[in-house]
């Protein structure tokens, strides 16, 4: 087997050979611990018939582990300076394809159709660039891509918000947006010491398993998310206050909002952070006729 990329010695040698300098603005914190990488691949349950999509391969530390376990890896990398490095470090793995693109601009569905034509099991696995974790996760979920799930390293604080339960300080519109599409669990807390350079914050690995259908079935998805965002607009305000101040013409429609709260069995003096997804679903369906 080839030598692992993700050791302090090999990583340093690769970076020195190419005179590579980290760009903080691109969230470049590379992993130098092979055990952590293997665990990430295990959490994603990657098998020989799995297609893996990676975001930000860096110098190929995780890509290599994915290449060894999966059928094929397609990795999106924004930083052109990494391309010659990757073509050397990943040369032993013919089942890797690097796409030089900002993943937020990429047509991921089209890439999947082209690259994974005969594969049914597809996972997104990444050590995400921390400056764009939420937009990347939301893009992958909102586009309803045919993936089994997402296993990613990200800031622990964001992992806590994603996996939070109602009634906790971390629960908010991000928890709802992600849990609407997936079952979310934090599977590992990761110390700063396994990265070069070390990030300023603690990290965690989160596993998002796509639900067969959304957690709640609502009349209008866009309106449902509008209601959840409104519900959390000012956390110390009551639900009634937030809904009247945030929904279009909410102040004039206070009576209708009260009627919808009553019909969904939700006390207007509750705070948004106490409502389950199911309660937000009921409430948005009752509100919908007044705002459509
Ligand atoms: N996978 C490598 C590892 O674990 O060592 C590197 C992870 S590093 C945290 C994030 C990587 O994402 C960097 O290689 C960075 O250049 C790349 N990146 C940053 N923004 C990106 C974007 N919008 N699209 C694709 N790649 C991006």
102 shares its domain with 161: yes
- Ligand 1 atom 19 nearest Cα: 26
Amino acid 217: pLDDT? 97
55 Cβ below 6 A of ligand 1: yes
**Mean pLDDT in runs of 10 for the chain (292 residues)?**
90 98 97 98 98 98 98 98 98 98 98 96 98 97 97 98 96 96 98 96 98 97 96 95 97 97 98 97 98 92
Amino acid 3: pLDDT? 86
Range of the domain at 257: 221-291
Give the Å distance between the CA of 169 and the centre of ligand 1: 30
Give the Å distance between the CA of 156 and the centre of ligand 1: 17
Per-residue pLDDT reduced to its tens digit, 148-161: 999 999 999 999 99
Per-residue pLDDT reduced to its tens digit, 187-221: 999 999 999 999 999 999 999 999 999 999 999 99
CA distance 126 to 56: 7
198 shares its domain with 244: no
CA distance 40 to 205: 7
CA distance 31 to 192: 10
Amino acid 169: pLDDT? 94
Amino acid 187: pLDDT? 98
Q: Which residues pair with 98 in a beta bridge?
A: 75
Is residue 3, in this structure, part of any structural domain at all? no
83 shares its domain with 146: yes
193 shares its domain with 228: no
199 shares its domain with 268: no
- Which of 280, 139, 164, 137 has the alpha carbon at shortest distance from 216? 280
Is residue 237, in this structure, part of any structural domain at all? yes
In this structure, what token pair is assigned to residue 50? 């799995």
- Ligand 1 atom 23 nearest Cα: 102
76 shares its domain with 105: yes
79 Cβ below 6 A of ligand 1: yes
Atom index in ligand 1 nearest the CA of residue 130 equals 9
* Residue corresponding to tokens 């398993």: 209
Which pairs from 257-262 meet CB under 8 Å and 24+ separation?
257/287, 257/290, 259/286, 260/286, 260/287, 260/290, 261/286
> pTM here?
0.96
CA distance 221 to 95: 38
């Amino acid at each position: 087997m080839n030598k692992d990329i993700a050791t302090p010695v090999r990583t340093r040698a690769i970076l020195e050979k190419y005179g590579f300098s980290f760009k903080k603005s691109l969230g470049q914190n590379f992993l130098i611990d092979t055990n952590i990488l293997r665990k990430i691949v295990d959490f994603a349950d990657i098998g020989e018939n799995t297609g893996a999509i990676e975001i930000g391969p860096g110098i190929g530390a995780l890509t290599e582990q994915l290449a060894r376990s999966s059928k094929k890896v397609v990795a999106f990398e924004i930083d052109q300076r990494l391309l010659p490095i990757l073509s050397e470090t990943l040369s032993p793995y013919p089942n890797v394809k690097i796409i030089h693109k900002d993943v937020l601009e990429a047509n991921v569905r089209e890439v999947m159709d082209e690259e994974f034509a005969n594969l049914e099991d597809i996972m997104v696995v990444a050590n995400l660039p921390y400056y764009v974790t939420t937009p990347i996760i939301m893009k992958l979920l909102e586009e309803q891509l045919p993936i089994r799930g997402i296993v990613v390293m990200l800031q622990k604080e964001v992992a806590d918000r994603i996996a939070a339960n109602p009634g906790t300080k971390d629960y908010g519109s991000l928890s709802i947006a992600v849990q609407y599409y997936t079952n979310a669990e934090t599977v590992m807390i990761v110390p700063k010491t396994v990265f070069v350079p070390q990030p300023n914050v603690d990290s965690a690995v989160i596993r998002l398993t796509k639900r067969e259908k959304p957690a709640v079935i609502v009349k209008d998805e866009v309106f449902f998310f509008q209601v959840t965002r409104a519900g959390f607009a000012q956390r110390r305000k009551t639900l009634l206050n937030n809904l009247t101040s945030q929904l279009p013409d909410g102040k004039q429609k206070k009576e209708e909002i009260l009627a919808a709260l009553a019909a969904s069995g939700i006390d207007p003096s509750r705070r948004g952070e106490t409502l389950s997804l199911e309660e937000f679903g009921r409430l948005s369906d009752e509100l919908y006729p007044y705002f459509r």
